Structure 1
Amino acid sequence: MSLEVIPVRIEKQQGGFDLYQDIMNSLDGVVSLEDGDILVISSKYTANSQNRILDIKKIKSSEKSQSISERFQIDAKTAEIVLRESDKIFGGVAGFVLTSSDNILAPNAGIDKSNVRKGSVILYPDLPYLMAEQLRRKIFLNLGIHVGIIIVDSRLMPARIGTTGVAIACAGLEPVHDMRGQKDLDGNTLKVTLKATADNLATIANHKMGEGSESTPVAVIKKSGVKLTDRKIRTDEMAISYDQCVYVRGFQSKN
């Protein structure tokens, strides 16, 4: 059984549309959804359907965002958006504020100036886990099939060049495979290994979906072999608390 990834081209729309209907229209004649498929959807495409696009000129900066602007050398209005979208600010460098947004460690709270009109930014989707679950249920009710849903974004990996994929939300599949207690090739018991299933699939799909002008914000993964589920996925299942994160703890430790 070989895993297959089918990217789906979708005509670009600007702000506020029916995500389910747009996806179904684009799949028609290209690929048929079947039981066990994983539908991977760009976070920016999802956010666009919610009209999560801001005109930077209309943003009013606060005293706190002015301070962030000066500290990290970013525009004060952009700093205000970062401040609003962040759960926590860890620090940063010139041009980038390192933040947590929806349990995702990301520069500038995941806001993006690409694939939107000049002078605008697009944010992370609002309530992405709810969006994914609603989409999963709608597909089951209308088509009678069980699929997994992953909402994917690009991310930078520590000390690595380039971007990879990250699942900012999912529904219908078990996002993490706990391998603790199993044996490795030499018979050693695995003590800490948990496989990031949703993130791995997000990266595979992201490779096919592209980062530029491809206009393929959706991909269908077939024959993934992952475990599907009807239970509602919690928002904290793919995240680890920052006081347990090796990178965060390491960077914050004092020499």
Structure 2
Amino acid sequence: MDRWFSVSGLATGLIRPGDAIADRLIAAAPRPGGLVDGDCIVVAESAVATAEGRLVRLDGVKPTPVARDLARRYTMDPRIVEIILQESDAVIGGMPGLLLCRAHGTLLPNAGVDASNAPPGCVVLLPANPGASAAGIRDAIRASAGVEVAVIVADSRPYPMRSGCAGIALGYAGMAAIRHGRAVADCIASTAELVMGEADEGIPAAIVRWWKP
């Protein structure tokens, strides 16, 4: 039997520290109907991290000599490099504007430290525990809206020898991440990112919805 799906961006507006992100997602869901059982909600990690207060002000960061040396080598802000070092297990290498790091159990550009989706003068870190963040959003949606959804906390990553980025699932809840050998959560994250925007666009999330004819 054929299966179809739709992908819709959720215009929550700008997410700020302390926001109840589940409530913003529920309010942004398309009407009539809103969220329904079986929906998969994909949320940008920067929005989740911002709501969780994972912001660092650059004016309070004092770079170490190691950070200053790497910043000179790779043409970066030494304060941002210092934060990257604090978030990393190791720096593997780099190129102008970017450090390749081992962090959070994988290889990450700049250890996931993001300046592009942060308020001026700040950077946003990855959520401390993306899986727990996804589970918390799912539980809050169930409690507020009475529906059972899956939630993915997504990020974008470049791939070696490929131009551009694709989505990955940093954390998830209410679904299997891998089915029949396919990285389903990553595929859903990539699909959702086609309709999501940068922080200032106010569309940090999407609904992926399946149905049968």
TM-score higher than 0.5: yes
**Percent identity over paired residues:** 30
* Runs (5+) with no aligned partner, structure 2: none
Question: Within 5 Å, which residues of 2 pair with 1:167-182?
Answer: 167-177=169-179, 179=180
62-71 vs 200-209, greater mean Cα deviation: 62-71
Question: Within 5 Å, which residues of 2 pair with 1:127-146?
Answer: 127-146=129-148
- Identify the residue that residue 118 of structure 1 maps to in structure 2: 120
Quote the offset at 1:213 in angstroms: 4.6
- Identify the residue that residue 241 of structure 1 maps to in structure 2: none
SS at match of 2:4: coil
- Name the count of aligned residue pairs: 210
Question: Within 5 Å, which residues of 2 pair with 1:141-220?
Answer: 141-177=143-179, 179=180, 194-211=181-198, 213-220=200-207
The 2-side partners of 1:160 and 1:85 are apart by 26
On the 8 A contact 1:104/1:168 being kept in 2, the answer is: no
SS at match of 1:208: coil
The 2-side partners of 1:133 and 1:110 are apart by 21
Q: 1:62 to 1:204 in 2, by over 3 A?
A: same
Specify which structure has the higher proportion of strand.
Answer: 2
SS at match of 1:141: helix
Over residues 88-124 of structure 1, what are the superposed CA-to-partner deviations in whole Å (9 max), with x where a residue is unaligned? 3211123211013323422111112213333221111
56-65 vs 32-41, greater mean Cα deviation: 56-65
Q: 1:202 to 1:62 in 2, by over 3 A?
A: same
Higher relative contact order (CA 8 A, sep 6+): 2
On the 8 A contact 1:167/1:198 being kept in 2, the answer is: yes
On the 8 A contact 1:37/1:224 being kept in 2, the answer is: no
Quote the offset at 1:63 in angstroms: 3.4
- Alignment counterpart, residue 109 of structure 1, candidates 95, 108, 111: 111
Cα RMSD, aligned residues only: 2.1
Q: TM-score, normalised by structure 1?
A: 0.75
Q: 1:68 to 1:4 in 2, by over 3 A?
A: same
Q: TM-score, normalised by structure 2?
A: 0.88
- Identify the residue that residue 210 of structure 2 maps to in structure 1: 223
Larger Rg: 1
- Identify the residue that residue 36 of structure 2 maps to in structure 1: 34
On the 8 A contact 1:16/1:51 being kept in 2, the answer is: yes
